[in-house]
Amino acid sequence: MKENQSEAVRLATGLALVGGAALAVHSLLIEPSWVEVSYPTFRLPDLPPFWEGRRVVHLTDLHYGNPRSEPLFRWMVNTVNQLDPDLILITGDFIQDLWRYVEPCVRHLAGLRSRFGVVGVLGDHDFKRLPARHVGGGKHPESRSIRYTPIGGLAEALDSVGIRILRNESVELEGGLRLAGVDPKTERTDCADLEVALACSPATPHLLLSHSPDLIGEASARGIPAILAGHTHGGQVVVPFYGPPVTHTHTGRAHASGWSERGRTQMYTTRGLTSHYSLRLFCRPEIAVFELHRPADPWPDLPA
């Protein structure tokens, strides 16, 4: 009887070790490179007819800055171009914190092709925080907005290859599609100014680009119908029947990935291409490909 019991314990221990090793190999070596190209449909009220049925590729959290970046960026640019997009939108974390990554990152992204351009916003890892002594000891009235600055002229470098970076501003594209974009509001950076971004547009934007999903409440209060976000990486590790324990947002698991809504605002949070450390479990990297459509009956059941 005792022998049978110890045999069972040995078997269970062996299975647990094999399972643990398989899970470790999968989460460290396989899933981080197993990018899903997803195809959600975006229904935008007041979508200009010119944009009906057009294809938008959403990239986020590229994090150039590790040995895998070179082949991954080559694959990404090639894959996105084969999708034949009308528009490419990028919601930040282009690089991983260091200025030396700006040049190779931008060099790769210069190869992206789309009919109506590439527009993006910066993420928290694209910024550096200036020491307080550089901003009047933090007492300068504008110290919050000037305390963070993009690393190594990243925004200008991206602009130079045709990638328009919206820094608390709005733009109207050909065919009347209005986009707004804000600097990142995360636990590391606090530079988003939606009021300023909207002030330069004659009408409410159709779509807001925000690195973090945390802006959903503010965007909803201002009547913005749709947001594209990233930053969470989907949590990177998702516990079955629970979700991701870590999202690096104030809103937690609610907006970690995929569709969510607040009032009349809908948001899609894409899980991102990669991250600064190679770990993904039940949370594959993602490139989202949207087809834009007008809803047949916009917001029929939602309260005003």
- The encoded tokens of residue 89 equal 């939108």
Taking the complex as a whole, the smallest distance from the CB of residue 256 to Fe ion amounts, in Å, to: 13
Taking the complex as a whole, the smallest distance from the CB of residue 230 to Fe ion amounts, in Å, to: 6
- The encoded tokens of residue 60 equal 């986020």
Instruction: Tell me if 288 sits within 8 A of 58, measured CB to CB.
Output: yes
Closest CB to Fe ion among 54 and 231? 231
Closest CB to Fe ion among 152 and 235? 235
Taking the complex as a whole, the smallest distance from the CB of residue 123 to Fe ion amounts, in Å, to: 4
Closest CB to Fe ion among 44 and 256? 256
Taking the complex as a whole, the smallest distance from the CB of residue 222 to Fe ion amounts, in Å, to: 23
How many angstroms from the chain centroid is the CA of residue 124?
Answer: 11
* Distance (Å, whole) CA 238 – CA 190: 27
Closest CB to Fe ion among 231 and 280? 231
**Order of strands, edge to edge, in the sheet holding 226-229?**
169-172, 178-181, 207-210, 226-229, 265-269, 258-262
Taking the complex as a whole, the smallest distance from the CB of residue 115 to Fe ion amounts, in Å, to: 27
Closest CB to Fe ion among 48 and 210? 210
- The encoded tokens of residue 122 equal 């910066």
Task: Please give the residue ranges that form the binding site for Fe ion (CB under 5 A).
Answer: 61, 93, 123-124, 231
Instruction: Tell me if 215 sits within 8 A of 208, measured CB to CB.
Output: yes
- The encoded tokens of residue 45 equal 């009220």
- The encoded tokens of residue 111 equal 């190869």
Closest CB to Fe ion among 124 and 169? 124
Closest CB to Fe ion among 108 and 178? 108
Taking the complex as a whole, the smallest distance from the CB of residue 99 to Fe ion amounts, in Å, to: 17
Instruction: Tell me if 92 sits within 8 A of 121, measured CB to CB.
Output: yes
Taking the complex as a whole, the smallest distance from the CB of residue 63 to Fe ion amounts, in Å, to: 6
Taking the complex as a whole, the smallest distance from the CB of residue 114 to Fe ion amounts, in Å, to: 22
Instruction: Tell me if 80 sits within 8 A of 88, measured CB to CB.
Output: yes
Residue 291 to residues 29, 42, 44, 96, 218, Cα–Cα distance (Å): 32, 6, 10, 30, 26
* Distance (Å, whole) CA 62 – CA 70: 11
* Distance (Å, whole) CA 301 – CA 304: 9
Closest CB to Fe ion among 38 and 201? 38
- By CB atoms closer than 10 A (0-12, 13-18, 19+), residue 172 is middle
